[in-house]
Structure 1
Amino acid sequence: MARQTKENTGLSPLEAERLRPCLDAFLASTDSQARIAFDPLEFPHRYENPRDIEVSALLAAALAYGRADLFRPKVDALLKRMGPSPAAFVRELDVAGARELLDGFVYRFNVGTDVAVLLLGMGRTLRELGSLEALFVRGLEARGSWHGALDAFTSALRDVPMEPLRKALGPERGLHHLLPSPLGAGAAKRLNLFLRWMVRGPDGVDLGIWKRVRPSALLIPLDTHIGRISKHLGLTRRNDLSWRTAEEVTASLRALDAEDPVRFDFALCHYGMSGVCPTKPVPENCARCKLLPACAVGRKTVKARGGTEGRARATR
């Protein structure tokens, strides 16, 4: 039998027991409701119908890259033009409607044709299967893995006639960035973020409208903030933002909570997004951080600050 290492097993039980109180205290101290206003999660929270929630959520998650103050107005404008029911809008959407909605749309890597593929794909899914959940579950049952299910999900959404769209809106530009297919070795952060919103909860943060997928199966939505903080806490030894790293971080979190491993994601990600835990540690912030007992970088930073202050006092 091959020897298992920390790389593929996550935290040991002893490590998990040491880390759990810190993370629980950190989570309890986070004002999640205040942070939702700075998160693309604000958009699906506007709706009550499950189909409106999942359509608005996937659109918001797909465009949630770059600066929030730049992508949020783009998502907001699209949803307002789609009317009170995004699900009803995409069910009825055709190429002419996509052109009316998206002519001239540009956000960084993406143009109107890219977003039209997503909206038309969602509309066809709702007409044929009734929900986006049904499409994901179909892929999960057919492929048998989380990566395979996501690959099948994006491939199915992209299965729309392209030539009429290109004629109406011009060529696609960043379609693979918006809906990667094949999925590849990347962490697929925005897709896993969408799945977290749909599967976890409802708990005031995530919406929990999908009932056929268990939270225990979720993969951490790995970005630069989660990657950096995870390494500080010993959740991973890897430096890249790959699918393998997301699996390793999630394996460590499962040692803390096997049924709901990604429940810490929102709080940890916003800790980095807010600037309280930046790339270059701030000694004053580290000293006040509830994660300090478990954070190797934070302890080192605070210790170095103490030594510097001690030497400064000695020379006065």
Structure 2
Amino acid sequence: MAPRKPSSTGLSARDAGRLLPCLTAFMASTDSRARIAFDPLEFPHRYRDPRDIEVSALLAAALAYGRADLFRPKVDALLQRMGASPAAFVRELDVEGARALLQGFVYRFNVGTDVAVLLLGMGRALREHGSLEALFVQGLDARGSWHGALAAFTAALRDVPMAPLRKALGPERGLQHLLPSPLGAGAAKRLNLFLRWMVRGPDGVDLGIWKRVRPSALLIPLDTHIGRISKHLGLTRRNDLSWRTAEEVTASLRALDAEDPVRFDFALCHYGMSGVCPTKPVVEHCTRCLLLPACGTGQKTVKAGGVRATR
């Protein structure tokens, strides 16, 4: 199902004027370099060649679900076995090579066949298009929308012969979770995370190796942390983690920075992951939060607690 037309931002000029300095100060206070060590973004940062960055990034983003201390060793082990150049590895990869690499691989929903589809699809994209960027841009030009471009991208990556893979590694199990196609109405968080890494920057966090896509086109990688904080800050009134909600949050963020709407994503997501902004607000945390002047939930929590902010 294709998503509806993006809704207009509900963020007023007054709200944007109050929120922007809070977010700017908040981002400046975030030790992004230290946080990268706890983020799947650490993997593409290991490489210098753009093609190696692309391949390692998409593999890392695709498996970046669940606890970081569980998926990071899985990604690390695969990249170590793929050698110094992940791009060269997938360009030459065949079914037998995939079997040797992925026999017995299991991570939560995914088994070796699922990951083999992704790796073989990336190899085909590099051979036929020269880069993952070129494959994505082809879909963007053809479909004319971000959702359409991502749908075309994942469909192309999954266009590999399945019968030989199933014979070598067994049936797929969580391929739709790893690489959704059709894309559907979900937020596609990990794919949009990959695109943020590729398109934004370089700024010490995102790598900015794709030059044919503008940061203004990016969609927020919406997960439970971003969804919760976005509601606190008035970026959306929606409760679900759908594509429409991601569009609404991004539209609000464009009122703050039309050219780079998702630049606050890394800091906000890690803030939520850290537990400092939990699902149930904690008065002591809210009183010290740099976002409190723009956070309706935090202000209510502090008022109900009968304490004053100590920032």
| TM-score range relative to shorter protein | over 0.9
Q: 1:311 is matched with which residue?
A: none
User: Within the alignment, does 1:190 sit opposite 2:179 as a pair?
Assistant: no
Q: 1:124 is matched with which residue?
A: 124
Q: 2:3 is matched with which residue?
A: none
User: Within the alignment, does 1:91 sit opposite 2:73 as a pair?
Assistant: no
User: Within the alignment, does 1:233 sit opposite 2:207 as a pair?
Assistant: no
Distance 2:147 2:22 in 1: 31
Q: 2:277 is matched with which residue?
A: 277
* Structure 1, unaligned runs of 5 or more: 1-5, 309-316
Q: 2:19 is matched with which residue?
A: 19
Distance 2:81 2:286 in 1: 44
Q: 2:303 is matched with which residue?
A: 303
Contact 2:51–2:131 (Cα < 8 Å) also in 1: yes
Q: CA deviation at 1:9?
A: 2.4
Deviation digits for residues 293-316 of structure 1, max 9, x if unmatched?
0001111111112269xxxxxxxx
User: Within the alignment, does 1:167 sit opposite 2:171 as a pair?
Assistant: no
User: Within the alignment, does 1:289 sit opposite 2:286 as a pair?
Assistant: no
**SS of structure 1 residue aligned to 2:255:** helix
Q: 2:33 is matched with which residue?
A: 33
Deviation digits for residues 103-128 of structure 1, max 9, x if unmatched?
00000000000000000000010011
Deviation digits for residues 85-108 of structure 1, max 9, x if unmatched?
000000000000000000000000
Q: CA deviation at 1:56?
A: 0.0
Deviation digits for residues 220-278 of structure 1, max 9, x if unmatched?
00000000000000000000000000000000000000000000000000000011111
Distance 2:178 2:303 in 1: 43
The 1:133–1:7 alpha-carbon spacing in structure 2 relative to 1, beyond 3 Å, is: closer
Q: CA deviation at 1:20?
A: 0.6
Listed as ranges, the matches of 1:231-270 within 5 Å are 231-270=231-270
Listed as ranges, the matches of 1:15-164 within 5 Å are 15-164=15-164
RMSD (Å), alpha carbons? 1.2
Distance 2:307 2:219 in 1: 40
Counterpart AA for 1:81: R
Distance 1:21 1:186 in 2: 31
Report percent identity of matched pairs.
88
Deviation digits for residues 45-70 of structure 1, max 9, x if unmatched?
00000000000000000000000000
Contact 2:188–2:221 (Cα < 8 Å) also in 1: yes
Contact 2:195–2:218 (Cα < 8 Å) also in 1: yes
Contact 1:10–1:255 (Cα < 8 Å) also in 2: no
Counterpart AA for 1:227: G
Q: How many residues are aligned here?
A: 303
**Higher alpha-carbon deviation: 239-248 or 299-308:** 299-308
Distance 1:307 1:272 in 2: 23
Counterpart AA for 2:201: G
Compute the TM-score of the two structures, normalised by the length of structure 2: 0.96
Runs ≥4 residues deviating over 2 A: 6-10
Counterpart AA for 2:167: K
Counterpart AA for 1:182: P
Distance 1:209 1:42 in 2: 15
Deviation digits for residues 152-172 of structure 1, max 9, x if unmatched?
000000000000000000000
The 1:187–1:170 alpha-carbon spacing in structure 2 relative to 1, beyond 3 Å, is: same
* Structure 2, unaligned runs of 5 or more: 1-5
Deviation digits for residues 123-157 of structure 1, max 9, x if unmatched?
01001110000000000000000000000000000
Contact 2:151–2:183 (Cα < 8 Å) also in 1: yes
Q: CA deviation at 1:13?
A: 1.8
Contact 1:91–1:126 (Cα < 8 Å) also in 2: yes
Compute the TM-score of the two structures, normalised by the length of structure 1: 0.94
**SS of structure 1 residue aligned to 2:306:** helix
Distance 1:247 1:230 in 2: 12
Counterpart AA for 1:287: T
**SS of structure 2 residue aligned to 1:256:** coil
Distance 1:7 1:135 in 2: 28
Contact 1:35–1:270 (Cα < 8 Å) also in 2: yes
Q: CA deviation at 1:283?
A: 1.1
